[in-house]
Structure 1
Amino acid sequence: MKRIQYIGICLMALVMGLSGCEDPIENPSFGPDEQPRIFGWSTVNKYFVDIKDSLVIDMKISPSAGATYKWFVNDVEVSSKRRFSYKFSDTETYRIKFEVDRNGVKNSRQGDAIVTKPFVAKTYNKKVVGFMTRDGSLETINLKNLTHLVISSAVVEEIGDQLVDTTFTTLNIPLIIKAAHNEGVYVLLDVTGRLVNMTGGGEYASYGFYNVIKDVDKRDKAIAAFLKFAKNNAFDGVNIYLNNASEDAGILKPAITLPFYQAVAAALPEGPNGKFFYTASAMGGWLTSELKPITQVEEIDWVNLHPFRYGAPEISEDAPYSGFVDLAATWESFGMPKEKIVNGIPAFGLHYIYPHDGTTVGWGNMWLYTSYDSYKSILARDAQAYTKNKLDVDDGIFYDGHPAAQKKSQYVLDQGLGGVMVWGIENDTQDQSKSLVKAVSTALGND
């Protein structure tokens, strides 16, 4: 009975905020040679600050007793306080470093302070639209080569109560948008079904996007969800990529798709930089005509074409020049103005590794003997691969190197098209002398 009474008293003490029934918790003690730990530093080692503001970084240190501090900007000491407050003079990237010294034991952090200016869209001759998938990052792309960045993707599919997946767990969306805006690059949110990130193709037999939009109530809720995400994250627009047909014999019914594109147009918010872009993507091949309703939506600013993934059981180019020309001509015949056609090239290649034991390769088993290689992995095989469009490896790797990129870019100039898109730009190299996107930008007269 006494034990029960004691427990009851303790429970009452806990409720009343007393601690008489607990052992007192003491502050931890630290030896004089323990390294001070630093808390609160940016996980991506980058800070953005507007030119009119001071950059303030308030670090937490443990143990802090006896610690001294130093802050450096471009290797010049500027402060000895734990809390950093500094106003930069120019819109450029500065190297910053924070150093803690406690009894001769040091710890430090370093990163970039990127001083931004009000958004001013860069000038260009033709659009260079770069699609970056969830496999990319700010470190794997070069914003200076782009006019528009499209981040792929918000995935439309009904899973439980959710209609749109906007969990970009591997991408720091606010950071990427700030960096792009600082370079005068507009940023759009790609809205898609399930994709294969490397190639931009829809996952086989994945019809989630179409199944959502054929239900008017779900369609409107999905539109509200992805436009809200775009607005809340300061995107400059959305790109709609209805990448798979329905399970109904592969048919995209105009009675479903056209009202969807029109409903998006009717719900567009204002853009953070004076314009909220509305674009769409369309693949080549047998589904080309299924997306013709796009041409009936005047609000659509341009269409991004995918004239690749044309690989066949017969060893052949995956992104032939003829396909690039034909797909642009097809959309012009649909009634899409030339200046609204942005034609695409891949930052990957098709790698054939065929059996030589008499096995017949056809559409049913071709996938067993082919793979897609990123442009940068192709360069890793051959440092001069950028000067070619094919590597004689196994049964051939077919891709777009500088010769193909330049030829296709020249066609865009000659025909007065809107520009070139590249999928996916994280597969490009950061070596600007070999970069695919840089080659496109230069060929289009943007540099």
Structure 2
Amino acid sequence: MKKRVLLRTLVITITFIGGMLTGVLFSANIANEKTVNIKQAPKSAIKPVTKELPKVEKSQSKVLIGYVQDFRDPNVVDYSKLTHVIFSFAHPTKEGEILLNGDTALKNLRTVVSKAKQYDTKVMLAVGGWYHINGGESYEYFKTAISNPASRTKLVNELTSIAVREHLDGIDIDFEHPHSKADADNLALFTNELSAQLHPKNMELSIAVYSKIHAVTLTEIGFVVYEPTMFQDVDHVNIMAYDGQWDDGYHAANLSPYPFTEKIVNYWADLFDKNNLPKEKLVLGVPFYAQPEDPKIKQVSYSAIINQDPANSTKDTVSMNGTTYYYNGDATMKKKTTLALDHGFGGMMLWEVGLDAKGPNSLTGTIFEALNDSNNVLGKYYSTKK
């Protein structure tokens, strides 16, 4: 009996010990197996490979458009802060051809395009302007070209051709200014035809317009006429809210004071509301030059004013060259930018970037920051009409 008990006890003990050893060995094997799996696992199982996110086009944003004249050194342009550079000017002939100001202008245009691309800044070519390369005002040349269907189509084709050939992002129309209903109708036809050529190529079309407000009476001016439906065909309407000094004689102080600009903004905002046009197309233009009280003295650039004394950036008038100059300083530019945005405008336009000061007193920088400080994001892309 005792032997059986001892034998049974021995068997149970051996079985128990064996089970423990088996469990330990099994656990060790599992642990070893896990260690091997971790070491042999592909890196993607530990740290997933970062995949490039799909590019999403930026939403429609506020624009900062700067005109630059064809004789300027392309290096003076601060492309990093501009959404668009408008190279000025191509000159229309009465037959519908276009002229550039020699090889230098073409070389500068190509340099502007090259530099702008580095910052995703768009480049457009302006056609028209106040003065014509062949002398006198450009009005008669432009008017004749767009009044005849054949020359109008030729001008459209010429502009489209140079835009494609020079890798431009669009064309800006600067017809100064339609004086009659016939002018307005022909300009609308020209704009529509040019739009039909540019937009399918993913190019933009803008138009520079007269302020339509008298700087002295602050009432609507009737001698410049536009057909409102024309604005359906453009992406930007660049309002030239300056040069009021010529209204009712010569008054330098009326260059572009804030009350004058306020009336202009209200006029264009109301016009677009009444015609069910998107106000985001409206772009408020501001001057980068100063008007002398003595008309015998030439205008000066904002850069010249700052070079005399950087403190002039806080003012709107300065005494130089024996006269008083009127201009828009830093605070006024901020105020005008806020005014435009508060009325639903799409951004700001500068005439002209070659006149700006460098460094911390740059008006381009001031307006850029004012746009960024708003609830709207300044971007490099603008949705074109399809």
Q: Specify whether residues 407 and 174 from structure 1 end up closer, same or farther in structure 2 by C-alpha distance, changes over 3 A only.
A: same
Does the alignment pair 1:420 with 2:353? no
Aligned partners of 1:122 and 1:184 also within 8 Å: no
* Structure 1 residue identity aligned to 2:319: D
Does the alignment pair 1:331 with 2:252? no
* Structure 1 residue identity aligned to 2:142: F
- Classify the secondary structure of the residue corresponding to 1:410: helix
Does the alignment pair 1:209 with 2:142? yes
Equivalent residue for 2:286, pick from 333, 340, 345: 345
Equivalent residue for 2:332, pick from 375, 396, 404: 404
Give the structure 2 partner of residue 264 of structure 1. Answer: 194
2:174 and 2:267 map into 1 onto residues whose CA distance is 18
Q: For residue 168 of structure 1, report the CA deviation from its aligned partner.
A: 5.2
Which structure has the larger Rg? 2
1:383 and 1:297 map into 2 onto residues whose CA distance is 40
Give the structure 2 partner of residue 231 of structure 1. Answer: 164
Q: Specify whether residues 282 and 217 from structure 1 end up closer, same or farther in structure 2 by C-alpha distance, changes over 3 A only.
A: same
1:443 and 1:185 map into 2 onto residues whose CA distance is 19
Does the alignment pair 1:151 with 2:87? yes
Aligned partners of 2:265 and 2:343 also within 8 Å: no
Equivalent residue for 1:380, pick from 287, 290, 307: 307
1:142 and 1:326 map into 2 onto residues whose CA distance is 30
Q: For residue 441 of structure 1, report the CA deviation from its aligned partner.
A: 0.3
Aligned partners of 1:207 and 1:245 also within 8 Å: no
Aligned partners of 1:193 and 1:208 also within 8 Å: no
Provide Cα deviations, 1:187-244, integer angstroms capped at 9, x if missing partner: 11111145389xxxx9547421111111111111111011100111110111111113
Q: Provide structure 2 residue ranges, at least 5 long, that are not aligned to the other structure.
A: 1-54, 215-220, 379-386
* Structure 2 residue identity aligned to 1:319: S
Query: How do 1:44-55 residues align onto structure 2 when only pairs under 5 Å count?
Result: none
Query: How do 1:157-306 residues align onto structure 2 when only pairs under 5 Å count?
Result: 157-158=93-94, 163-167=97-101, 169-171=103-105, 172-195=108-131, 204=137, 206-245=139-178, 253-268=183-198, 270-271=200-201, 275-285=202-212, 290-306=224-240
Q: Give the number of the structure whose residues are more often helix, by fraction.
A: 2
Provide Cα deviations, 1:392-421, integer angstroms capped at 9, x if missing partner: 333410111111111101112222210000
* Structure 2 residue identity aligned to 1:403: A
Normalized against structure 1, the TM-score is what?
0.62
- Classify the secondary structure of the residue corresponding to 1:282: strand
Aligned partners of 1:148 and 1:187 also within 8 Å: yes
2:69 and 2:353 map into 1 onto residues whose CA distance is 8
Normalized against structure 2, the TM-score is what?
0.71
Q: For residue 254 of structure 1, report the CA deviation from its aligned partner.
A: 2.9
Question: How much identity, in percent, do the aligned residues show?
Answer: 21
CA RMSD of aligned residues (A): 2.8
Moved more, 331-340 or 235-244: 331-340
2:194 and 2:371 map into 1 onto residues whose CA distance is 31
Q: Give the number of the structure whose residues are more often strand, by fraction.
A: 1
Q: Specify whether residues 346 and 267 from structure 1 end up closer, same or farther in structure 2 by C-alpha distance, changes over 3 A only.
A: same
